Amino acid sequence: METPFYLCVPAAKHIVVSGDIHGDFNTLVYKLCIQYKMRDTLLIVAGDCGFGFEKPEYYKSIVRKNSKRMSLSNNWIVFVRGNHDNPAYFDGNTFAYKRFIAVPDYTVIQACNKTILGVGGGISIDRVPRKEKWKLYWHRYREFLRIPDNSSLARNFYWADEPPVYDETLLETIGKKYSIDTVVSHTAPSFCELTSKGMVEYFAKSDPTLLKDVQAERETMDTIFHKLVLDGHPLSNWYYGHFHQSWNAEISGIRFKMLDIMEFATIAAE
């Protein structure tokens, strides 16, 4: 039987969710540890972390640079997969350190008497120009990339397996052992903002299946939402990024919060 990835942070006294960071790891750590002087805090990034645009050594250097600062503040950062992330990093092993970890979809995180489900994935509305830009980049700089083009960690600007995935079997397995009260995802159910499609329609002019794929992305999140509710999980909070705006509302007794780029929000206590 497939089992979910599980993470427990018993020493955490606070939980914060961040919106997209787009590779700005150093600023994230600075904001957490220095600007806001947070301590004993678990920070969960709601996707578009920025894994895959650089060589693997780059991400190791981020850890080396920031580990001491994170340890002194006794903080941890968990990264949920976005569409602007290479999914190969999100297996709970490829990028896993004492203070930093990129986790698989459907990871269960327990801390501060909360049981959180992390759900990654989304659609890049600018995927066509991203793929075109990569072709130009690859031909111009391929001799400097150093990693074989077929490596799972090869640099790129776009990954085809970016959408969220509905895994009913895994959700049922989770439901037998855990009661989910909080979801941190990259995108969101269709009844949440952002619902306007102006930018999507712009990019759809050169991407014939984009509108259909974006609709499917949101419907996948609808299915996950309804499954959690149907299975009786005590959902009270849902945080997400992806849309680069800030918004919140209570829907069906659940507090939904959309986070802007690098926006922090504390997971509400009951």
The torsion region of residue 203 among left (phi > 0), alpha (psi -120 to 50) and beta comes to: alpha
Beta bridge partners of 124: none
232 domain-assigned: yes
Q: Is the pLDDT of residue 143 over 80?
A: no
157 domain-assigned: yes
146-172 mean pLDDT: 88
The pTM for the full model equals 0.95
Distance CA 181, CA 253 (A): 12
DSSP labels, 133-168: HHHHHHHHHHHHH-S-TT-TT---S--TT-S----H
Distance CA 47, CA 18 (A): 9
Which pLDDT score is estimated for 270? Answer: 57
Q: Does the N-terminal peptide bond of residue 194 adopt cis geometry, omega within 30 degrees of 0?
A: yes
And the tokens for 120?
């990654």
2 domain-assigned: no
Lowest mean pLDDT among 9-23, 128-142, 253-267: 128-142
Our count of domains for the chain comes to 1
Print the domain residue range for 195: 7-266
φ and ψ at residue 19, rounded to 5 degrees: -75, -175
CA distances 172 to 4, 108, 118, Å, are 10, 13, 15
175 domain-assigned: yes
Q: Is the pLDDT of residue 150 over 80?
A: no
Which of 100, 105, 245 is closest to 162 using CA atoms?
105
Q: What is the CATH number of the domain that holds 149?
A: 3.60.21.10
Please write the tens of the pLDDT for every residue from 209-230. Answer: 999 999 999 999 999 999 999 9
